[in-house]
Chain A
Amino acid sequence: MNRRVFLLSLPGLAGCSRSAGRRLNVLNWPEYVAPETIPNFEREFGVKVRYGVFESAEEMLARVMSGNSGWDVVFPTNYFVQPMVELGLLAPLDHSRLPHMGVLDRRFQSPPWDKELRYAIPYMWGATGILYQSTLAPAPGAWADLWAPGFRGRITMLDDPAEVIGACLKKLGYGLNSEDPSQLARAEAEAARQKPMLRAYVNEIVRDQLVAGELLAAQAWRSTAMRAMETAGDKLRFVYPREGYPLYADNIAILRESKRSQLAHDFIGYLTRPEVAARIALTKLESTCNASARALLPAEMRNNEALYPPRGTLARGEWFRPLSAKAQRLRDRIWTEIKSA
C-alpha cells in the first residue's frame, strides 16, 4: 500500500468507526461473490461488511464452533447444516424478513438437509466429475474409465478422502455415503489398484496441468472444471460419470450468536435477489440454486449442460451426507492406508 492509497482510505476508516454498530461479519469461501456484490450492499444499507474466508468446510465449522466467534453470516455446505443445527450454532430464519427472495429451483425448495428451509437458504450447488482432453477417443464417461491402463501416469484424483473413496464406491455401484465396512474395504482395494496409475492426488492446481496438456483426465470439481474450460475453450470437456457422482450445495445461514439478526436477514435477502444472485453466478461460473436468477442469465450460460445438466443427469447425482463418528474414523484409516501404500 503506498502512501496515497493509505491517505485516501483514511476517510473510509473514519466511517468505519462511526458506523461501528452497523457492521456485518460474513464468513464465506474465498471469492464466492461478484466483485460489486459487497460494495453495493454496503452502500444500500449504509453498513460495513467484514468478509472473512475459509478454505474448507471443516475449517469454517472449527472457527464458529465456540459460539462466540464474532461472525454473523456463514455459508455451510449441505452436509454441515444438520450438524450445525444439532450443535446449536444456527439461528432459525424468519422468512417474512426475506421478501424478495426469488423462486428457488425445484430441487432446493425442500432439500433433504433442511426440508423447510428453517436454517439455511441454498446458495450455489456444485458437483464432482471428470475433466478431460476433448481429443480423447473414446471419451471417458464413467469413473471406471479412470482405471484404464492407457491413462497411466497421465491422470489425477482429488486429494480428498470423501471424493476418492466416494468415486470408488460409485464405481462399485454402492452409495456415496456408505458406512458399511465391507463396501468400504472393496472401495479401498479399488483405490489401491488405481494409485500406481495416478500422477498425483491434487485439487484446484489440476486446472493448469490439464490446460497445458500434461494430463489426459482428472477427477475434478465442477467449479475447477468451469474455470479450466473458460481458459482452454473446447480443448477440455467435463462429464458427470455414468455410475453417479457427488453433489454438494453451499447455503447461507445466520449464526445463533449473531446480535445483528435484522442486518443478517437483510444480507440474505439481498444475496437471494434474482439480479444479485445472477451476477454472482455469472462472474463466478457457478450454478445458482435460485431459478429466478438462472432465468436472468445469458442463454449460453443458462443452457450450459455442465452448469445446469438435464434432469436425467441430475438424477444420477447423490448428496454428500454427514457421517457417523465411527464411519469417519474408518474412512480416515482407509485414506491413510491408501496414501501410505
Chain B
Amino acid sequence: MNRLRFWCLTPAGALLGGLFLIPLGIIFAYSLLTRGPYGGVFSPLTWENYSRLADPLYAAILWRSLLYAVIVTAICLMLGFPLALFIARAGRRRNLYLSLVMVPFWSSFLVRTYAWMFLLRDTGLINSALLAAGVIREPLTLLYTPFAVILGLVYGYLPFMVLPVFATLERLDKSLIEASADLGATPGATLLHVIVPLSKPGILAGSILVFISSLGAYLTPDLLGGGKTIMIGNLVQNQFTTARDWPFGAALSLILMLVVMGLLVPLQRRGSEGLL
C-alpha cells in the first residue's frame, strides 16, 4: 500500500517540484538581484526591488486589478450559477450542454479574443447590425473600453465558474429539496435556503478560479482595452520586455502571489469549515 502511494505521488510530485517549486525559487532569487543594463540579473543582492513596491503608483494598479477581478467574479457567478443549475437539471441533454460550455476551449484564447475585436469594433458585427436595424445612427464605441475588458474576461473565464458549481449541484441530494418543498417552502425559498448553501463549495472553487485568472490577465486588457488601462499582469510583462528590469518583474509577481494567497487562504479555510 505504501509503495502504491509512493508511485501514485511521484509523477505529480516531480512535476510540481521540478516545474513549479524550482522556477518559483529562481523567481525569488531574481527578485533579490540587481538589474543588468540590458536585461538579465546581476549581483549584488538587494531588497530594493521590494521597497520600490511601496510606491503608491503600483498600489493603485494592484487595487484596480483587484477591482476588475472582483467585478468579473461577481458577473461570472450571476451568470454561471443559473446556467449550472439549468444543466444539472437538464436530464438527458446534460452532457450536450456541458460540452457546449467547453467547446470554446478547443481554440486558443488569443484567437477568441481577436474574434471579440471583430465583433466589437466600429465596423464590427454588433455595430453593423444595430446600424442596419436603425437602432443607432453612429457606431457605439465598444472596443477599447473598460466594458470590453470586463466582457472579454467574463467570456473567457465563465466556464471556470460553471463547471465546479455544476459538479456540486449534480451531487446534491434530491431528497433534501423534496423535504424543503414538503415542509412548505416556495421554490425560491428552497433555492435560497437549501440549494445555494449546499453548493457553497462549488461556488467558492469557481470564484477562486475566476478571481485568480482575471487578476493576472494581461492579454485581454491589452487587446480589448487598447492598452489604455494597465493591470498588474501588464506591469509584470513590461518589466520583462520594454523596461528590461527582470528583478523588479520577479518581485512584482511574487508580491501578487502573496496578495492572492493572503486573500484566499482565510476564505478557503472558512469555506472548508462550512463544509463540516
Contact = CB atoms under 8 A, between A and B. Distances in A.
A156 B143 CA distance: 13
B122 A200 contact: no
Contacts of A153: 141
Contacts of A336: 57-58, 61, 230, 235, 238
A58 B240 CA distance: 8
Interface string A310-341: 00000000000010110011011101110110
A38 B238 CA distance: 33
A65 B39 contact: yes
A328 B244 contact: yes
A56 B38 CA distance: 13
A325 B227 contact: no
Given A61-B38, A62-B39, A199 B242 contact: no
Interface of B: 35-40, 57-58, 60-61, 64, 117, 121-123, 141, 143-144, 222-223, 225-230, 234-235, 238-245
Given A61-B38, A199-B144, A162 B226 contact: no
Chain B's interface: helix, strand, loop or mixed, by majority? loop
A87 interface: yes
Given A58-B39, A200-B144, A325-B37, A195 B242 contact: no
Given A61-B38, A209-B121, A324-B37, A337 B57 contact: yes
A332 B238 contact: yes
B123 A340 contact: no
B243 A329 contact: yes
B118 to A, nearest CB: 9
Contacts of A328: 37, 243-245
Contacts of A332: 238-239, 242-243, 245
B226 A199 contact: yes
Nearest to A202: B226
Contacts of A209: 121-122
Contacts of B144: 199-200
A340 B242 contact: no
Contacts, number: 92
B60 A340 contact: yes
A340 B226 contact: no
Contact of B227 (A56, A58, A200): A200
Contacts of B245: 328-329, 332
B35 to A, nearest CB: 6
Contacts of A337: 57
A328 B225 CA distance: 25
A299 interface: no
Given A198-B228, A200-B226, A201-B226, A161 B242 contact: yes
A83 interface: yes
B123 A83 contact: no
A59 B57 contact: no
A14 interface: no
Nearest to B127: A214
Contact of A335 (B37, B121, B141, B242): B242
27 contacts: A56-B241, A58-B242, A59-B241, A62-B40, A83-B38, A87-B38, A153-B141, A161-B242, A195-B228, A199-B144, A200-B144, A200-B226, A201-B226, A202-B226, A205-B117, A209-B122, A214-B121, A328-B243, A331-B243, A332-B238, A332-B239, A332-B245, A335-B243, A336-B230, A337-B57, A339-B229, A340-B64
A210 to B, nearest CB: 12
A-B residue pairs, 8 tightest by C-beta: A200-B226, A201-B227, A332-B243, A339-B230, A200-B144, A214-B122, A159-B227, A83-B38
Contacts of A80: 38
Contact of B40 (A56, A65, A212, A329): A65
Nearest to B139: A214
